[in-house]
Structure 1
């Protein structure tokens, strides 16, 4: 590729990466931190950046994605990885930029493509990644021990050195458009356990030499019985990263049981929900060092399905399991809410009260009360009235008006429902329902039929009339 064109594309990629990263940060799904420490290998200060989800489950252990050529590749890869794990398509993952001594200085890598060897600079860099950086990361984050190394072009081919050496620290590799090598390494190291997972992404609009090399590399790894996959995508040599990173990550975790695959298994399995859960959990731990997270979506997938299927034994086991898991004060508030909702469906009102109260308190502590609309409705209308706590329910809904000033009408509607269906503060409930009915657009936006609201209003007016007559 012409060097001027290469430089221009690299600059454009850097700009695109920055925009995507800034978007992820502005949407409060990702935090990026800069860290510096004294390297025992280099005997001087070295730095790296690390991206983690803005919010995480308690006791989480992160898989680590180590990114080479971080000056232009880190932001794109980090944003995609954080996005995917936010929606639980991949396990909890921290993304680390392995910064060179100066931005873009690949001389640090010190890798010779002609004979798969390292010069003195490369030996230092290799030792730095495998000792200093690993040690420092374990000081900063709880890690799972599942490390992935990502490279592009020259550094993608550099990963062959790790694979050939039988590196036990790195468990998987992502190679974007690896640079052609005169001769492939022999890859004579026999992995007795933990065969490496390798994902190769090549570009249709790249040179024939690179595409051919990617194919040959793939075939060689296949012959060695490594866990390898190759994907050739519509991109050129530089755009292969933004075009292929999602495929690369989901392809790497293709045996990870995310929420979609779990529902598919549940639908087709003929064993109990509890047995399905145990098998999936063990598989994820063995393959990726990760247990299923204690999140609302997973609790719903297993416990709610068990309730619907009337699998009493599974329900009891899930209750015990999630009760223990959610004892942590820093539990995911959405998980607490889901548990509260499901306890209500089981008729366990005190347990429902306990979880939903913790749910709202946790959101408040995290300064995320804008996420509580649904849980306020569930708690105020489905649980508290059954416990004779209509006063508390009314207050929760009143607080909702302050949190959602543009949606006051929906909370007025809920107050009207609370009042009319529980014969509580009928006069005030009628006034609130009148206000709600006068805002049909807000009701529709919150999936409430305005005609239903008008019917409830008429019912309330009739109830008030009967009270006055009696």
Structure 2
């Protein structure tokens, strides 16, 4: 029994050592007061001195920070999203004033305007200077504060590219403003959630906003909506946060079967370009230059084969050689390209070159040798 208790305490210590939170008091000139912050840095933040990280600002940090920070840590541990810096702003005593808007224009006023400027002109610049933040910035709010985060969306050059609106208590014209803005925006990720047992007024407003969004035809924004069954105004938060992160970071994860079937196969433009653009975009957003996954090479090459776009195998092979020079992968794609475009000698040479390198995925030395022998047999060499 003592051993079990000791082991449990040790496990708790190890976990807590990975997920320590910095508690900081930030003095604001705009607010003329100090604000309490909770800051969770990625697990390996100190080790990776050159790495930058997306920034996630969480309003209602008193109760919303922990579920967001926990999900971010979990998702990034399994590489389903990039490691990120999470910052919660405690608002237990100031929440009502922080989200204040006037009754004529329904825009931030008085303390609400000061809080808006505090985030945009003080807090975010401070975090950018103090920590290694990437371009991508996300803001999270719940009911009253979920309405407030939309005001950042209306700026000409929004400082936030991602918005997680959990059961927002929308100001009267907010639904029309959001719809209009998203219809003409680009590179915005917007998540909206309600539930069957949400507050009636909020649920009605959110569903109406979602209906308006269905008429928006803008491929340059990424809109996601959930209406959870049997969840309340409060329990939907626990379901909405992981769904939002999963949706927003879909591009970061390996190409899924769903993406393969719904995006790659019917793609009318270059499948090779899709792969390159995907990694270029994630590098720009997350500030992380990643090696292209073998899984993604295989997904793209399979789509190329299915659609018989053999000319795309040549640049794919050259890219694979650059990414994985010690493996068979790139030489295999080049050999396939030559074989399908009527150059069997070059194909055979590429298979032979690949044979000498390390096996990867489904590619083995026996497989490559069989390919060489098949060409020799077909042409009598």
SS at match of 2:243: helix
Indicate whether 1:149 and 2:132 are aligned.
Answer: no
Once the two structures are superposed, residues 260-280 of structure 1 have per-residue CA deviations (whole angstroms, 9 ceiling, x without a partner) of: 5399759x7799998675232
CA distance in 2, matches of 1:24, 1:222: 48
CA distance in 2, matches of 1:227, 1:300: 26
Q: 225, 232, 239: which is aligned to 1:243? A: 239
RMSD, aligned CA: 4.2
CA distance in 2, matches of 1:176, 1:24: 32
Runs of 4+ in structure 1 over 6 Å off: 22-25, 268-276, 302-306
Range with greater deviation from structure 2 (153-162 or 113-122): 113-122
Q: 73, 79, 94: which is aligned to 1:105? A: 94
Residues 23, 52 of structure 1: alpha-carbon distance in 2 compared, 3 angstrom cutoff: farther
CA distance in 1, matches of 2:290, 2:257: 13
Q: CA deviation at 1:174?
A: 0.8
Q: 26, 40, 51: which is aligned to 2:15? A: 26
Contact 1:34 / 1:47 at 8 angstroms: preserved in 2?
A: yes
More helix by share: 1
Contact 1:25 / 1:31 at 8 angstroms: preserved in 2?
A: no
Aligned to 1:316: 321
Q: CA deviation at 1:201?
A: 1.0
Once the two structures are superposed, residues 435-455 of structure 1 have per-residue CA deviations (whole angstroms, 9 ceiling, x without a partner) of: xxxxxxxxxxxxxxxxxxxxx
Aligned to 1:211: 203
Range with greater deviation from structure 2 (223-232 or 146-155): 223-232
Aligned to 1:79: 70
Indicate whether 1:227 and 2:225 are aligned.
Answer: no
SS at match of 1:55: coil
CA distance in 1, matches of 2:277, 2:153: 30
Residues 315, 27 of structure 1: alpha-carbon distance in 2 compared, 3 angstrom cutoff: farther
SS at match of 1:161: helix
Q: CA deviation at 1:132?
A: 0.7
Q: CA deviation at 1:289?
A: 4.2
SS at match of 2:197: coil
CA distance in 2, matches of 1:250, 1:25: 26
Residues 24, 262 of structure 1: alpha-carbon distance in 2 compared, 3 angstrom cutoff: farther
CA distance in 2, matches of 1:192, 1:180: 21
Aligned to 1:284: 282
Higher relative contact order (CA 8 A, sep 6+): 2
Indicate whether 1:159 and 2:135 are aligned.
Answer: no
Where does structure 1 lack aligned partners over 5 or more consecutive residues? 1-21, 322-344, 349-470
Contact 1:200 / 1:229 at 8 angstroms: preserved in 2?
A: yes
SS at match of 1:200: strand
Contact 1:29 / 1:54 at 8 angstroms: preserved in 2?
A: yes
Structure with greater Cα Rg: 1
Once the two structures are superposed, residues 12-40 of structure 1 have per-residue CA deviations (whole angstroms, 9 ceiling, x without a partner) of: xxxxxxxxxx9797265433212334433
Contact 1:53 / 1:86 at 8 angstroms: preserved in 2?
A: no
Indicate whether 1:54 and 2:43 are aligned.
Answer: yes
Residues 27, 67 of structure 1: alpha-carbon distance in 2 compared, 3 angstrom cutoff: same
CA distance in 1, matches of 2:30, 2:324: 50
CA distance in 2, matches of 1:63, 1:209: 34
Q: How many residues end up aligned between the 2 structures?
A: 300
Aligned to 2:366: none
Aligned to 1:197: 189
Aligned to 1:293: 290
Q: CA deviation at 1:191?
A: 7.5
TM-score by length of 2: 0.65
Q: CA deviation at 1:232?
A: 0.7
Contact 1:152 / 1:175 at 8 angstroms: preserved in 2?
A: yes
Contact 1:39 / 1:45 at 8 angstroms: preserved in 2?
A: yes
Contact 1:60 / 1:92 at 8 angstroms: preserved in 2?
A: no
Residues 119, 193 of structure 1: alpha-carbon distance in 2 compared, 3 angstrom cutoff: closer
